[in-house]
Amino acid sequence: MGFRFHKMLLQVTWVGVLLSVTTSASAVLSYPSALPNCQNSCGGVEIPYPFGINQGCYLDESFSITCDNLTSQPMYGDVIVKNISIEDHNIEISAYTARDCPHGHQPNAPMNNSDSPNGPTLWSLYFTISDTQNVFMAVGCDTYAYLNGFKNSESFSLGCMSVCVSASNAVNGSCSGIGCCQTEIPKGMKNISLKAHSFNNYFEVQSFKPCSYAFIVQKDKFNFSVDSLRNLPKKMPMVLDWAVGNDTWAVGNETCAVNTKNYSCGGNSTCKGSENGGYFCLCINGYRGNPYLKDGCQDIDECKEGNNNCTGKNTDCVNEPGRYYCVCSMGYHFDDRGACVHPSSNLAIKFTIGIGICIIAMLVCSSWLYLIINQRKLTKLKQRFFQQNGGLILQQQLSGQDNSSNMVKIFTTKELEKATNNYHENLIIGQGGFGTVYKGFLEDDKIVAIKKSKRVDESQIEQFINEVVVLSQINHTNVVKLLGCCLETQVPLLVYEFVPNGTLFEYIHHASKVSFVPWETRLRIAIESAEALSYLHSAASPSIIHRDVKSSNILLDDKHTAKVSDFGASKLVPLDQTQAIATMVQGTFGYLDPEYLLTSQLTEKSDVHSFGVVLVELLTGKKAISFDRPEEERNLALYFLSSLEENRLFEVLEKNIANEENAEQLKEVSTLATRCLRLKGEDRPNMKEVAMELQGLRKMEKHS
């Protein structure tokens, strides 16, 4: 289908080429147009076969042309031939006009019989008047005109009339009955004669004496003007259609067969029936020339003439009889799109592109896979850590609570990484055996402390969860508040409220060098810590034994309010359980309850003992245990007890702490401390009593 379409296009092009080339050929005469040894032109007009001037040079009598010796003009009968066209199968002639003038008025030179002023005839017995290219016209102001002829061997007439009162009535360029009239010519008119007449012998138009004219003229070759009424050319151009084989073809038969006798078309040509009878010849596609000659149709060399489509790079044109085709130059061949390419370059390009695409595809695929696998790994890891870190236990524990205000939030690793600027070392606020504490800034501008535990093993998981659960249940001003935790990392992270002023340990033992901590503050801190512990022991449900009470576990906020922290070792004691619980001994040397150490029986009195040590620390400003001191002074609790027995209280007290007003108070606190430090737990007061006594002492001091 596509190929056919292409072929059709090519045909169309060829026809176009044919026309334009033969046009120029009439001037260039590059193709033979007449029979050999025959005159092929006359007076500048080409005379192509089947027309000819001498006997034997034309096809038959109806194509005989004479070349006038005097005027050197080709004549067809008694009309001048202006042009002969093979392609359009017509001839252009110059024919006389018919004229009739008022008596005595001869507008042009006198005429004789052969070009009689009225009724010229065109004995064109074989050729028809072209109906498409001519028009019948009459000019005059008192005029009617006839065209008489034969159509299909029958006599036939037509005409028109033109009237005007004065020449000014006529309009230049208009031929519609005033001064000029016209009518179409029917098909197939032959052997015509023309006549022009006056209706009334020009009576009405005596004043300007116009003649009457009748003529057939090629369309657009005559434009009526007012002048035409007085002065019209003697001859007008007219077109006649011709055909060959007038006797072999019926009128109106437009087909033709090659096998008829006296067939006139030459080689490489075809024929076409004329609607006026006969036929004419055409060169087939790819040929041009005179199809009526035996070898008139000659191959068109499209390659030389350039009217081919072999314009691509490295493309050559090959001409063949009647056609041409495109080939690629040596070493090149067509690719899919019809371009000529070098096979190697083509291969190389394909190879390169192929490799490139492969590499890109592999890169994309592998990076995609890598991302997915990584993402999966990470998620799995997070899930594993979550489980490992007791996330499930915690979730169960937390879901048991319904106090939503105390709800512990479970943070994601991302949130905490952002909060700590990816655990930047500048944000470290504490470091020790337990792990590292970072200062963090949450999205809502809340400042928090994030405790990153050291690697936690399976056994410690419970402890960790413990702290979370314990703290999540506590809401006390003097207990550090747990805000949430993160279980997605290998080591669990705890998020606390940020307590800005460090630990009590630092406050007493380091700060004292720069600034002295007055007794009132110490007492208040003691009271607050005691209240916190008292709350844990009796008010919290279930009650909680801290198990690691020491000065470094008591934090101080911006107003130096105490906040008890680090519940990693704390133990929950169900309410109904009053007796001691057997546990592995845990705590800090120096604060550790000796009874607990011996029996492994944990009671809330262990915390009381440890608190006693803290009290002594507050009183003496000395560390609970210090290897810098002489051996008998190393354990502060023991040293303090022995000092008191020896009545040397004011020697061991912090320098400058005692004054006249608080001496009594100091004595009382010291006594309370010794009670807390008693060997037997049951001899020690409980935290509630301790807290109340301390508060009582402060009030007493205020009252005095």
Give the binding site for ligand NAG (CB under 6 A).
6, 9-10, 23, 60-62, 69, 82-83, 85, 88, 112, 114, 125-126, 150, 172, 191, 193, 220-223, 225-227, 246-247, 250, 253, 255, 257, 262, 267-268, 295, 299, 309-310, 312, 321, 326, 338
232 phi/psi in degrees, rounded to 5: -115, 140
Residue 548: active-site member: yes
Give the active site residue among 548, 566, 593, 607. 548
- At its nearest, how many Å lie between ligand NAG and the CB of residue 207? 19
Q: Tell me the C-alpha distance between 445 and 682, whole Å.
A: 48
Position 361, amino acid: A
β-strands 482-486, 409-410 pairing: parallel
If the CB atoms of residues 153 and 578 are measured against ligand NAG, the closer one turns out to be: 153
If the CB atoms of residues 183 and 193 are measured against ligand NAG, the closer one turns out to be: 193
- At its nearest, how many Å lie between ligand NAG and the CB of residue 222? 6
CA count, 13 A, side-chain hemisphere, 370: 6
Cβ neighbours of residue 441 closer than 8 Å, sequence gap 6 or more: 419, 447, 448
Position 56, amino acid: G
The separation between CA 168 and the C-alpha centre of its own chain, rounded to angstroms, equals: 73
- 687 and 611 in contact (C-beta within 8 Å)? yes
Q: Tell me the C-alpha distance between 94 and 83, whole Å.
A: 10
Q: Any known ligand binding at 7? A: no
- At its nearest, how many Å lie between ligand NAG and the CB of residue 247? 4
If the CB atoms of residues 310 and 581 are measured against ligand NAG, the closer one turns out to be: 310
Going through 517-559 in order, the beta strands assigned E by DSSP cover: 543-545, 554-556
- At its nearest, how many Å lie between ligand NAG and the CB of residue 173? 6
- At its nearest, how many Å lie between ligand NAG and the CB of residue 275? 10
Q: Tell me the C-alpha distance between 632 and 625, whole Å.
A: 11
* Residue closest to ligand NAG when measured from CB atoms: 267
If the CB atoms of residues 124 and 143 are measured against ligand NAG, the closer one turns out to be: 124
Q: Tell me the C-alpha distance between 624 and 609, whole Å.
A: 12
Tokens representing 73? Answer: 């003009």
Find the distance separating the first CA and the last CA of the chain, reported in whole Å: 122
Q: Tell me the C-alpha distance between 323 and 72, whole Å.
A: 41
- 685 and 677 in contact (C-beta within 8 Å)? no
- At its nearest, how many Å lie between ligand NAG and the CB of residue 279? 10
How many angstroms separate the Cα of 146 from the Cα of each of 187, 205, 506? 17, 21, 139
If the CB atoms of residues 108 and 538 are measured against ligand NAG, the closer one turns out to be: 108
385 phi/psi in degrees, rounded to 5: -60, -40
If the CB atoms of residues 315 and 420 are measured against ligand NAG, the closer one turns out to be: 315
List the binding residues for ATP: 452
Residues forming the active site: 548
List the binding residues: 452
